[in-house]
Structure 1
Amino acid sequence: MMKLCLTFLFCLLINCGLLFGQGSLKNLPEYSLPLTNKKLVIAHCMTNIIRFKGHPFEDSCNPDYYSPKGNVSAPLGGLTQVKVMADSLMANASLDEAVEFEMRAAIRSGIDGFQFYYTLGSPDWDKIILAYFRVAEKQHINFKFTFCISHPGGSTESLKIEQFAKRINYILKVTGKDNPHWLRTPDGRLVIYLWDGEPLADIPADKKGLPDQFYIARAYKRLAEAVNERFACIFTINKEISKTELNHFLDYFPAAWMWTLPYDNKNYTGQMVAAECKRRQRNFTASVFNDFYTSKLLKKGTWDMYHRVEDAVKAGIGKVERKYITTGLSYNFRKLLEFGIQQDASLINVITWNDYPEGHHLAPEINHNEGFSILLNYYKSIWKGQSSPYAGRDVAIVFFKKYSRQLQPFPFNIPVVPFQKETLPIASEEAIEVVTLLGSPASLRVNGNIKSVKQGLSVLKFPMKAGSVNVSIVRNNKTTIEFTTPEGITTKPYRADRITYSFSSEFENFYKNLYPGFKPGYSIEYNPQFKKL
């Protein structure tokens, strides 16, 4: 009898402890406090995807494998379909020089800080993060940093917290907790992003009637305590989510951010998320991504990536695929920015700064160039109530795919597979799209076709035509802009390639004086006769 009573008392104490724990984590007043005291654009940064001496890019974005011939990836028609502009410049650079370039280029693109992709089993990345702090302080670069704790699988909660805490404590010790480059809330909490961060927690089989989110929040509270900090964790939404599940998160977290869920005016998940955040007095942070087409070669039907070029070549075209999302050229990027502005979001999250393998990068690269960065700078000025950085001059940006999706590439036709519900029609990408920013109405000529354009931002589409794209703006019989894209459109694609190409009238201005010794590169895959003017 005594044994039964003790067992009952023990179980009662456990349940009371859980209920007390829930009460100490659920709907805390701090969850309704602001994340920032000013609006910021924070980009997801792939910590290790950076070029410096002795540290090449990973295979799936290594420019050595861009060419369809003359390298080990030739049997695939070239493993990578992105070519990072800074690769050759940084090949003999120090780590400090490399991170300085990344920050200065990011600022040029309208970015105010990085959230670093942060995983278990990657302690070498910490020296890269420390270099960012060191150089930002030394060079007086106004830039913010924080961690994005990502898919912490394997092991137990306590061991994972121990591993993370050891590394984070060291970084905090070296940089200083009061370092102004940390991204903190006005009340002093360290803003922490999660990307698939739920696996940090051990979820018991018997959850005592509590949702998973309680155990997840408890795990991050334990991590915060292990580094003697208070966290403001921004959980990620990387799928369609129900209102019930969302509210379980909002019970225990102060903010949400969304990953690569494309904009759909009728069924955009962000509309429900933003509405619930507003109702619950939580922070809705807007997310934007410009493209999604992987240079990664994956095992068919999976996200299992061939990390080494030799393994991808060995597998062969018949056993690999690439993944994509239809983004409608610039449509998805513009609409996500417009939605964030409409919601008066406290943060705009850019997906991503430098994830070249997934093709949603803003960093200087010869296909994306500066087109999306110009749009980010323009919309950022509206969001912050400031004058446009392009006021007083005309700007035109071209977006297109290198070939119509109706064509079959030959001989390297690697399958390109959509991995999410298609929210935009394929036809949205079957055109040349031109976005203009004009001080007053004018005429736009594209490959001989002329359309009237209004003042401000306009988006016009023109038929796809083989060859490079010629653009000019004419007002009162005077040409204010005239340029030809270095890259062209082809009717004979030799390999599958769905990355979005952009180029603008700002190309030379945008990259001018970006960094000592930097010279922008050009994509001329289907326009080999291009000569720089």
Structure 2
Amino acid sequence: MPLTAVSFKRKDELMRLQSFCLLFALCAAFGGFAAERPKQIFAHYMGCYPAGTGPTAHHRSELKLDHNSPAFGQATGGTVYNWDLVPHKTRLSPEASAELDIKRAIRGGIDGFSLDAWAGSAGAKATLDALFRAAEKSGSDFKITICLDPSCLPQHPEDSGDTRPHAYADAIKYLLERHGDSPNLARRNGKPLIFGYHSQGIAKAINTPEDRRKIADAYREVERLVGQPLYFHFCIGAFNWGVPSGKGASVEEAGAWAAEHFPAVGDFFDAYYPTDEILKAGRAVKAKGAEWSQPMWFQYYNRGNQSLYVEDGFNKLRRMWKNARDLDSTLLQFVTWNDYGEDTVLAPGYNTNYAVLAYNRYFIDWWKQGKPPAVDRDRIILSFRRFNEDAQIYPFHAREFAPGVIEVVTLLTAPGRVELPGRGIAYDAPAGMSFRQFPVTPGSVAATVARNGKKVVEVVAPEVITDRPFRPDNTMYAFSSDCDRYWEEDFPGVPPLHYSEYGDADGDELPNWFEMYYFGRFGDFTTMTAADPEADPDGDGFTNLEEYRNQTDPLVAEKPYRAGDEWRRQDIFDAKTCANPERDFNGRAVWRYYYKHGKQGEIRNDGHYERTNSNLPNVPYTGGVLAHLSPSSAPGFRHLHGWIAFTPEGDTLFKPRREAAQILGWRSPVAGTVSVSGEILPDNGGQDGITLKIGTRTQSLFDKVIPPKTGLKFDLRQVRVQKGDEIFFFCDCSPGFDSDRLVIRNLVIKLDNLE
């Protein structure tokens, strides 16, 4: 019945109806009604990485690795490990690539892509167009939009001063002018949906009250330039970067402010904040009536800048989804669909196969349905790290390490008995979803589920866990019992690509990586059987198989150690590799960097230390050019984050903190006797002095408190070592302040005699 036909008995009834209509209009404008807020999840799409085509296909086919390269990316094993999963040596057309990515995303429960504007420049725009064509051709309801990336948007000549509205508006205009009428354009509350990444980047502004107004005004100007209302998703990531102490708002306050100006607020990547801080921000956003977009990711490893954020198994993914459910998030942006260079890949990849996408689908369904989804068939998902902390990496250099686990996820229609063949592990798993985690130990990884003594599902991972890794890798390998099924759906009749670096395709005990890297072409699977295990190409008396077992170069003759050899710290400085461990003149890993946390004055010098996991070529605040840093925080401690660095003069600088000793280690590659010498320089800025202890796990060689402004030389003779013994240089703060440092010049270990 039309409202004009309603007969009102009392004036207050009309007023109540008018108030309700006004409230409805306001809620519709700001997205306040649940009916206007369907739960949607988009995957952040890198336009520079479409599957099987463009730069992705080029770099995968032209892959070259060199452990002797002066470039850090090369020397540590390359920057991309988890390539896009397509048949070997396959190159897709842009249209076929877009169709494959959308098909896989829909299978994984993803509602749309938010393409990074413009990672890949003109190529990213072409990828966006191809995605729209593929979505329209499929007739699906798959949605597409862009995510405004301040680091990738080009400068605009009309943007001057402190804001960039024209650059942002131009990106949106490209989207709307080409695809504004497309049924696959992402809209929310009838408006084009535009995602943000570090959204404060539209202005030269930080999180202060004055600058926040500048940011809000800039987005209003973008909307004016575009000429129509927009549904902005505002990302509060990096909002507090560069804010002077005491002047910036908390993350919670930033979220509350953003919720007053934008209909959806979230964070792209929350690793920089404690978990409770990002939850506070979410609650503040919800309290203001805006949509909260929970950060959504499972791992991150940018090898180029050594940013590493990983957790055991799928712990991070499960926690992100719990946060999304607890805060009733209604709009999500998964990070990412296809950033292969940063290992945040939800799309199928060499190392993660279809496993992450399938497991994530379970949580999407749970989030949308409000309860765990029913399991329609028995499934197993495996994830693991390829090696543990005790494994020595060769021939590539290592700069960081994160521990991991073997995780077994089961999705079962009924309870079953789980076994891990060859590992002596068996347990009972309930119906539905459950998981168990186990230590990383070498060998194959497989799992079975049985009921009443009959096997109902099994999975064998193509990859194995090794005790001889060739390059550092701190991200997961994952495989599931459904992987081959999904491959057949994508590539009917094509044998599945079971990528394995540490497997042995020809059963000759030489792993695939060894044969490809030294004797074929790394990444070319046709060369995985290129080496003869009994051959000795460098003529040093060791076969290829022995070289692999000894972790030596099969193409370069092993150099013998001789009395008189010297391990000089200056040589490490001159090489400027900044690895952990560092190699000597024979390519053996000898210098190592450690730390140990504890109460000041009570940190034990016992030879049991943690390896530094941040080793960087240029850290200005350390006063050095190469630095090995201990963590900046740990539960129960306040005064951490020390370092061992090289000064510009090539000296070794130790900077312990009150609760973090810094330790340099030298691991002997031979058995014999050595001399240890060096000169401690006076520290003119010190107040309390540094405790320096030199010794092995079983013998003390030097133990002194070095007062400020004091220098001395040490020359320790006839130190007996066995191969593998380690001499430690243990530096700790004396009681008092932790402003002191210790600098050693001309630190040399000399081989006096060989046994």
Query: What is the TM-score with the length of structure 2 in the denominator?
Result: 0.56
SS in 2 for 1:247: helix
Change (3 A) 1:274 1:502: same
Query: Which residue is 1:85 aligned to?
Result: 85
SS at the partner of 1:381?
helix
- Between the aligned partners of 1:34 and 1:47, the Cα distance in structure 2 is 34
Answer whether contact 1:47 1:117 (CA < 8 A) is retained. yes
CA distance in 1, matches of 2:223, 2:506: 55
* Within-5 A mapping of 1:325-344: 325-344=309-328
**Matched residue type, 1:256:** V
Residues 462 and 171 of structure 1, relative CA distance in 2, 3 Å threshold: closer
Q: CA deviation at 1:196?
A: 1.8
For the residue of structure 1 that corresponds to 2:38, the secondary structure is: coil
Cα gap change, 1:491 to 1:210, in 2 (>3 Å) = closer
1:492-515 Cα deviation digits (max 9, x unpaired): 112111121111111112222125
Instruction: Summarize deviations over 1:313-370 as a string: whole Å, max 9, x none.
Output: xxxxxxxxx3211222211001111221222211232110000100010111111112
Partner of 2:571: none
The structure with the greater share of residues assigned to helix is: 1
Question: How much does 1:70 deviate?
Answer: 13
Q: Distance in 2 between matches of 1:90 and 1:390?
A: 37
Q: Does 1:432 align with 2:434?
A: no
The 5 A counterparts of 1:308-327 are 322-327=306-311
Q: What is the aligned partner in structure 1 of residue 176 from structure 2?
A: 172
Q: Aligned residue for 2:265?
A: 256
SS in 1 for 2:188: coil
Asked if 1:488 is matched to 2:464, the reply is yes
CA contact (8 A) 1:263 1:336 kept: no
Gap change, CA 1:384 and 1:120, over 3 Å in 2: closer
- 1:228 maps to a residue whose letter is G
SS in 2 for 1:147: strand
Between the aligned partners of 1:530 and 1:454, the Cα distance in structure 2 is 39
Q: Tell me the residue number matched to 2:382.
A: 398
Offset at residue 519 of structure 1 (A): 5.5
**2:378–2:412 CA contact under 8 A, matched in 1:** yes
| Structure with greater contact order relative to length (CA < 8 Å, sep ≥ 6) | 1
1:184 paired residue number: 187
- 359 and 323 in structure 1: CA distance in 2 versus 1, 3 angstrom threshold: same
Structure 1, unmatched stretches of 5+, are 1-26, 299-321, 418-425
Q: Is the 8 A contact 1:486 1:523 kept in 2?
A: yes
1:47 aligned residue: 47
Please list every run of 5 or more consecutive structure 2 residues that lacks an aligned counterpart in the other structure: 1-25, 241-249, 508-755
RMSD, aligned α-carbons: 3.4
Aligned to 2:229: 230
Match of 1:279 among 287, 293, 304: 287
- Map 1:286-305 → 2, pairs under 5 A: 286-294=294-302, 296-298=303-305
Asked if structure 2 preserves the Cα contact closer than 8 Å seen for 1:257 and 1:284, the reply is yes
Tell me, yes or no, if structure 1 residue 109 matches structure 2 residue 108: yes
- The verdict on how the C-alpha distance between 1:297 and 1:134 changes in structure 2, with shifts beyond 3 A counting, is same
CA distance in 1, matches of 2:254, 2:78: 42
Counterpart code for 1:452: D
Give the Cα separation in 2 of the matches to 1:273 and 1:74. Answer: 40
How far off is 1:167 after superposition?
4.8
Percent identity between the two aligned chains = 25
- Higher mean alpha-carbon deviation, 252-261 vs 277-286, is at 252-261
Matched, 1:526 2:502: yes
Match of 2:431? Answer: 455
Displacement of 1:387 = 8.8
Q: Does 1:472 align with 2:448?
A: yes
Cα distance in 2, alignment partners of residues 474 and 263 from structure 1 = 43
Q: How many angstroms does 1:129 deviate by?
A: 0.9
**Paired residues, number:** 463
Report deviation, 1:79.
Answer: 4.4
Q: Which residue of 1 aligns with 2:485?
A: 509
**Alpha-carbon displacement from aligned partner over 1:467-501 (angstroms, at most 9, x marks no partner):** 21121101111101122110010111121111211
Who is 1:442 aligned against? 416
Give the direction of change, closer, same or farther, for the CA distance of 1:397–1:276 in structure 2 (3 Å limit): same
User: Which position in structure 1 is the counterpart of 2:355?
Assistant: 371
Amino acid at match of 2:259: L
Listed one character per residue, the Cα deviations across residues 431-478 of structure 1 (whole Å, up to 9, x for unaligned) are 211111112211110133111111211111223221211211011111
1:409 to 2:390 alignment: no
Measured in 1, the distance between the counterparts of 2:376 and 2:506 equals 30
1:201 alignment counterpart: 203
Evaluate the alpha carbon distance shift between residue 485 and residue 124 of structure 1 in structure 2; reply closer, same or farther with a 3 A threshold. Answer: closer
Pair 511,31 (structure 1): closer, same or farther in 2 beyond 3 Å: same
Letter in 2 for 1:269: E
Q: State the AA in 1 paired with 2:182.
A: N
Shift of residue 250, structure 1, vs aligned partner: 2.2
Distance 1:469 1:526 in 2: 12
TM-score in terms of structure 1 length: 0.78
